[in-house]
Amino acid sequence: MVDFKALAKEYGTPLYVYDFDYMSEQYTELKEAFKGRKSIIAYAVKANSNLSVVRHFAKMGSGADCVSIGEVRRAFLAGIPAYKIIFSGVGKSDDEIREAIEKDILYINVESEAELQRVESIAEELGRPSRISIRVNPNIDPQTHPYISTGLHDNKFGVDLSTAKRMYIQAKNSEHLDPVGIHFHIGSQLTQLQPIREAAEIVADLIRSLQAIDIELKFFDVGGGLGVKYGNEETIKPYDYAQAILSTLTALDLTILCEPGRFLTANAGYFVTKVLYEKQNGDKKFVVVDGAMNDLLRPSLYNAYHKIEAITDNNGKTREVDIVGPVCESGDFFAKNYPLPELNRNDLLVIHSAGAYGFGMGSNYNTRGRSAEVAVQNGKARLIRKRECFEDLICLEQEFLVD
């Protein structure tokens, strides 16, 4: 059990705390689900890009799914080998494409015909072929939040089936492209198995049609998106997830690539914040804390639910309160009408399920330094990112001041 009081006393608040033992358990369970089939688990770095988190998965044999060249660089720094690194994302710049080819990563996930042309041109310029995968948009409703839906034609990601086939033919006929994989990812926080199975079936059928014209792929990249429990969600068991995908691959000898992020880190993370005041506005009760939307954006951005635990000596009757931060926005809240007991100054609130898309989506809005991050493993805590100070925030600006 994590001693949040002790950690808050040692490292201050607001504070991110990550349970590395839990991350290990999640990784192992997912890896075991694909046992008996060639597979690579490629951690989705965007979920939590702290170098120590990425290195933790690297030590377990993980690859990395990256959506910027910065994340590719993080993966290398964390010890992930080039042959397990994938570079995805809709808007790759020429410089990013060039560096990815030079670093000889496993492949670049291509998301449009225009991007394919740029990859081909840059590979020709460099005099070395680029391994690619093409992201297919199967037009399947993932039944998740619209902001994290990625598998419909209304979404910006990937290409339709006919465009994908045309792109594979172009790549097959190019001296500068090596088509090795196919990719789909229909969304994040997926809690229904049927959309995943349907998408896999569609993409597997496309692979068979490509084989008929002598285009042989090696990697079946199923993306990520496995949902987790924030509240009362019914989630998918990793074994069932794996079996649904494998059932679509009859007679196809492909390496499965799976790109989990949230599944590995969300429920390993906690955001610890300190109570500053309680405040009454008419009938509305507020608890004002030292953390804010710049630290943990998900409630403001998605109206996302997070379980919140009060660490207080007052265990009396609960009442409904809005939990808000110091940022000068009405959207700066962690929960509304949430049941909590009466709280005193310096009591702690622990916001659960904060290990994915928490710190990484943070900002310095209102000139607020970002939180420290701490890892807990085998009962021991260690600092993995120090708290930002004012000098950190102005270091890239100060030299340009003019009188």
CB environment 132-167: b (16+ within 10 A), e (fewer): bbbbbbbbbebebeeebbbbbeebebbbebebbbeb
Asked if residue 253 and residue 111 are part of one domain, the reply reads yes
- The pLDDT of residue 156 is above 80: no
Q: How confident is the model at residue 292 (pLDDT cuts 50, 70, 90)?
A: very high
Mean pLDDT of the region 120-140: 94
Predicted local confidence at residue 150, as pLDDT: 44
Label residues 196-218 b or e (16+ Cβ within 10 Å = b): bbbbbbbbbebbeebeeeebebb
Q: Is 102 annotated as a binding residue?
A: no
Is 302 annotated among the ligand-binding residues? yes
355 vs 97: CA distance, rounded Å: 29
Q: Is 158 left (phi over 0), alpha (psi -120 to 50) or beta?
A: left
Residue 259, annotated as binding a ligand: yes
**How far apart (Å, rounded) are the C-alpha atoms in residues 242 and 255?**
13
* 10 assigned to a ligand binding site: no
pLDDT by residue (tens digit) across 346-361?
999 999 999 999 999 9
282 is in an annotated binding site: no
Same domain, 180 and 271: no
Whether 254 and 271 share a structural domain: no
Check whether residue 181 and residue 224 sit in a common domain: yes
Closest CA to 258 of 356, 206, 190: 190
User: Do residues 271 and 220 share a domain?
Assistant: no
- 260 marked ligand binding residue: yes
In a domain, 164, yes or no: yes
Range(s) of the domain holding residue 207: 88-260
Q: Give the C-alpha separation, 166 to 284, whole Å.
A: 59
Is the domain of 305 the same as that of 374? yes
Are 273 and 366 within one domain? yes
Residue 389 designated active-site: no
pLDDT at 191: 87
Query: What's the mean per-residue pLDDT of the chain?
Result: 94
What's the confidence (pLDDT) of residue 144? 45
370: three-class secondary structure by DSSP = coil
Asked if 322 and 283 sit in the same domain, the reply is yes
Same domain, 147 and 213: yes
Question: pTM for the complete prediction?
Answer: 0.94
Of 66, 328, 389, 395, the catalytic one is 328
- In terms of DSSP bridges, do strands 308-311 and 15-19 run parallel, antiparallel, or are they unpaired? unpaired
Domains in the chain, number:
2
Whether residues 182 and 219 fall in one domain = yes
Domain-located, residue 64: no
Q: What is the pLDDT of residue 366?
A: 98
Q: How many helices (H) and strands (E) does the chain have?
A: 12, 17
In eight-state DSSP terms, residue 261 is S
Distance CA 218, CA 220 (A): 7
* CA–CA gap between residue 254 and residue 219 (Å, rounded): 5
**Annotated binding residue at 357?**
yes
> Residue 6 — φ and ψ, nearest 5°?
-65, -40
Does one domain contain both 276 and 245?
no
Q: What is the mean pLDDT of residues 146-155?
A: 45
By DSSP bridging, strand 255-258 and strand 219-221 are parallel
Single out the residue in 217, 235, 260 at which a domain terminates. Answer: 260
Is 289:332 a contact under the CB 8 Å cutoff? no
For residues 18-28, average pLDDT = 98
User: Do 197 and 129 share a domain, yes or no?
Assistant: yes
What's the CATH code of the domain at 153?
3.20.20.10
Q: What single letter denotes the amino acid at residue 302? A: Y
In a domain, 22, yes or no: no
Domain membership flag for residue 376: yes
